[in-house]
């Protein structure tokens, strides 16, 4: 076997016995290894394809494929009519075999700890209308193929927006055009679109107390949002003025965590506030308005807004399941146009498969039926829970504070424990029950010990035991 050929070019010799897979890959790997190790030096001429093939007893095509691969990856280069040469890959020499820097990356999926969770706002899987959903999905995939694969408008699929407009008209008395509606993968995502729409120089204001995630999202977008205090009618208009808010982000229908429904008088006050200065807007988060359990729903701010100051926002997370990740917002006409100019290059974030299925679900009346069924389910569940509470606690130690709406209410305990202390002690017993005070941004005075009971997904079987544990805790029976 020759080491150099007749032209003085180093001949390459590799073992081709027992090669698994394509021969050219084997050859490619061998040459690459020789380049990496320095056996083949920078700018060294490679043997011609034919010579190498002959020497190794393989076909010229095999050598050609290997050389092509090496060229493609930059290990060798060609000079027309002269031949192939080894590239200068100076940076390669000292790179070690890649090792992943080992950090402790938590995989929370694997958490299996069982907690009795009064704070979960998830829905109960048993209530999801799987058979209808599967049927509609199947029909879409059979008869609607080309629409399903079309990239929809940045606003979302038109059919879905029409269905939502119809639902809002019949359910909330709102008169909106499909072109005002933007569909997105969750309200969190929609908040961020609004931040881009309004800009970061605006002053955003959220409710105090309030749903913490909203403030987190503003913060992680580099906005330090401000806080407006609540009274018994909802957010105080004076507070909005005081913090110089441009954008008020509120949930007037059913405030979380207090459960307050903003009365009409306050609604008009807040609309008046928004109209007082150019550039002021209200984000109305109507997240669980479907579950007003008694009486007629209160009209939305959007529906009594005469001047285009309200962005209405809602989600199917509560009314269907958070797993489908579909939310939407309704923009006033001029903002819808502004959105088009500024942000329509963003693709809609919801898969068309889900959008068309949901559109049919609404249009064919299944959504209304589902809501009605769920409302009855929640009324009964709530009733049972209230009975459990009443039979567990003395009237003097636990008072239920509920209004007619939504999927949570408040428990007011008489206890000498501090709220944080009670929360922590309950967590030690694997019970998660959050104090109202933990949703305050500002320091608060713990005059009343109110705790939030989200009941949409609590397990009725473990309820009595969990409540007994709370009672024992209140009575100081546990340390």
Site for its own copies in 87-116 (CB under 8 A): 87-92, 95-110
For its own copies, which stretch binds (CB under 8 A), given 49-57, 328-336, 360-368, 463-471? 328-336
Chain positions 347 to 406 lying near its own copies, rule: CB under 8 A, are 347-354, 404
Burial (CB count within 10 angstroms: exposed 0-12, middle 13-18, buried 19+), residue 349: middle
Q: Return the number of the residue (349 or 468) whose C-beta is nearest its own copies.
A: 349
Nearest distance, CB of residue 178 and its own copies, angstroms: 7
Segment near its own copies (CB under 8 A), from 239-247, 302-310, 410-418, 462-470?
302-310
Structure tokens at 445: 């005075």
On the CB side of 313, CA atoms within 13 Å amount to: 24
Identify the residue among 4, 50, 115, 177 touching its own copies (CB under 8 A).
177
Restricted to residues 140-169, the positions that interact with its own copies (CB under 8 A) are 141-142, 145-146, 148-153, 158
Q: Which of 306, 395, 442, 461 binds its own copies (CB under 8 A)?
A: 306
User: Which of 382, 386, 364, 385 lies closest to 374, judged by CA?
Assistant: 382
Please say which residue, 166 or 308, places its beta carbon nearer to its own copies: 308
Least distance between its own copies and beta carbon 293 (Å): 12
- Are 126 and 325 in contact, with CB atoms under 8 Å apart? no
28 vs 393 by CB, closer to its own copies: 28
**Number of C-beta neighbours around residue 330 at 10 A:** 26
350, two tokens:
């919801």
Kindly state the smallest distance separating residue 249's Cβ from its own copies, in Å: 17
Q: Which of 40, 47, 75, 381 binds its own copies (CB under 8 A)?
A: 75
* Binds its own copies (CB under 8 A): choice among 46, 260, 283, 298: 298
Question: In the numeric block, which tokens belong to residue 461?
Answer: 């079987």
Least Å from the CB of residue 126 to its own copies = 8
We find the least distance from the C-beta atom of residue 294 to its own copies, in angstroms, to be: 8
The residue whose two tokens read 């990740």 is 325
For its own copies, the closer of residues 336 and 435 by Cβ is 336
Closer CB to its own copies, residue 5 or residue 404? 404
Measured from the CB atom, is 114 or 296 closer to its own copies? 296
For its own copies (CB under 8 A), the number of binding residues is: 119
Least spacing, CB of residue 50 vs its own copies, in Å: 20
Instruction: Give, as ranges, the residues between 239 and 258 that touch its own copies (CB under 8 A).
Output: none
Does position 132 interact with its own copies (CB under 8 A)? The reply is no
Alpha-helical regions (H) of 231-321: 237-242, 264-276
Q: What are phi and psi of 210, to 5 degrees?
A: -170, 180
With binding defined as CB under 8 A, does residue 79 bind its own copies? no
| Token digits of residue 457 | 């997904």
Contact with its own copies (CB under 8 A) among 14, 16, 346, 444: 346
Distance CA 212, CA 240 (A): 18
Instruction: State which of positions 185-204 bind its own copies (CB under 8 A).
Output: 185-186, 188-189, 192, 196, 200
Q: Does residue 265 interact with its own copies by CB under 8 A?
A: yes
Binding segment for its own copies (CB under 8 A), chosen from 11-19, 51-59, 315-323, 434-442, is 315-323
Task: Give the span between the Cα atoms of 231 and 209, in whole angstroms.
Answer: 10
| Residue 183 or 470 having the CB closest to its own copies | 183
CB of 199 to its own copies, least distance (A): 8
CA distance 201 to 78: 55
Long-range CB contact pairs, 337-344, < 8 A, 24+: 338/197, 339/182, 339/193, 339/197, 342/196, 342/197, 343/154, 343/193, 343/196, 343/197, 344/154
Give the residue with the Cβ less far from its own copies, 353 or 415.
353
441 near 479, Cβ under 8 Å?
no
CA-wise closest residue to 284 among 314, 317, 250: 250
Residue 178 sits in the site that holds its own copies (CB under 8 A): yes
Q: How far is the CB of 324 from its own copies (least distance, A)?
A: 5
Select from 57, 295, 365, 443 the one that contacts its own copies (CB under 8 A): 295
Strand 76-79 relative to strand 83-86, pairing? antiparallel
Compute the distance between CA of residue 179 and CA of residue 167 in angstroms, rounded to an integer: 15
Residue 262 binds its own copies (CB under 8 A): yes
Tracing tokens 């881009």 back to the chain, one arrives at 196
* Least distance CB 2 / its own copies (angstroms): 29
Q: Which of 414, 404, 428 is nearest to 471 (CA)?
A: 414
261 token code pair: 């429904």
Q: Contacts with its own copies in 54-73 (CB under 8 A)? A: 65, 68-69, 72-73
Whichever of 72 and 462 has its CB closer to its own copies, that residue is 72
Query: Is the peptide bond between 351 and the residue preceding it cis, with omega within 30 degrees of 0?
Result: no
Of the candidates 420, 411, 397, the one whose C-alpha atom is nearest the C-alpha of residue 475 is 397
DSSP string covering 319-372: TT-GGG--EEEE--HHHHHHHHHHHTTSPP-S-HHHHHHHHHHHHTTHHHHHHH
Q: Please tell me whether residue 229 binds its own copies under the rule CB under 8 A.
A: no
* Contacts of its own copies in 268-287 (CB under 8 A): 268-269, 271-272
């Amino acid at each position: 076997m020759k080491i150099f050929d007749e032209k003085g070019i180093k001949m390459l010799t590799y073992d081709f016995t027992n090669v698994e897979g394509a021969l050219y890959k084997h050859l490619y790997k061998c040459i690459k290894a020789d380049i990496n190790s320095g056996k083949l030096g920078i700018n060294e001429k490679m043997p011609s394809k034919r010579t190498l093939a002959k020497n190794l007893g393989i076909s010229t095509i095999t050598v050609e494929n290997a050389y092509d691969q090496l060229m493609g990856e930059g290990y060798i280069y060609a000079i027309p009519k002269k031949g192939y040469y080894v590239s200068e890959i100076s940076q390669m020499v000292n790179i070690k075999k890649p090792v992943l820097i080992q950090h402790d990356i938590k995989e929370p999926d694997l958490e299996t700890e069982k907690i009795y969770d009064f704070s979960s706002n998830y829905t109960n899987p048993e209530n999801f209308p799987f058979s209808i959903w599967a049927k509609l999905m199947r029909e879409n995939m059979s008869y609607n193929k080309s629409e399903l694969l079309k990239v929809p408008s940045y606003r979302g699929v038109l059919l879905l927006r029409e269905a939502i407009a119809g639902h809002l008209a019949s359910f909330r008395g709102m008169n909106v055009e499909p072109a005002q509606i933007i569909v997105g993968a969750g309200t969190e995502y929609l908040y961020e679109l609004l931040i881009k729409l309004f800009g970061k120089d605006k002053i955003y204001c959220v409710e105090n107390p309030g749903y913490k995630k909203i403030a987190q999202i503003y913060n992680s977008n580099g906005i330090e949002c401000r806080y407006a205090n609540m009274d018994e009618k909802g957010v105080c208009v004076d507070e909005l003025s005081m913090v110089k808010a441009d954008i008020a982000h509120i949930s007037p229908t059913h405030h979380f965590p207090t459960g307050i429904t903003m009365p009409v008088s306050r609604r008009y006050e807040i609309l008046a506030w928004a109209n007082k200065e150019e550039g002021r807007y209200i984000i109305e988060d109507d997240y669980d308005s479907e579950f007003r359990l008694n009486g007629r729903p209160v009209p939305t701010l959007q529906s009594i807004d005469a001047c285009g100051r309200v962005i209405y926002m809602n989600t199917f997370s509560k009314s269907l399941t958070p797993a489908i990740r579909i939310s939407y917002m309704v923009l006033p006409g001029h903002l819808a146009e502004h959105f088009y100019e500024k942000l329509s290059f963003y693709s809609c974030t919801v898969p068309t498969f889900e959008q068309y299925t949901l559109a049919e679900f609404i249009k064919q009346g299944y959504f209304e039926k589902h809501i009605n069924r769920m409302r009855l389910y929640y009324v009964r569940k709530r009733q049972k829970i209230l009975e459990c509470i009443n039979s567990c606690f003395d009237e003097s130690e636990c008072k239920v504070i509920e209004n007619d709406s939504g999927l949570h209410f408040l428990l007011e305990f008489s206890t000498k424990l501090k709220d944080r202390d009670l929360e922590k002690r309950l967590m030690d017993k694997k019970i998660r029950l959050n104090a109202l005070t933990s949703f305050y941004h500002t320091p608060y005075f713990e005059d009343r010990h109110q705790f939030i009971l989200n009941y949409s997904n609590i397990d009725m079987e473990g309820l009595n035991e969990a409540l007994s544990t709370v009672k024992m805790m209140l009575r100081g029976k546990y340390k």
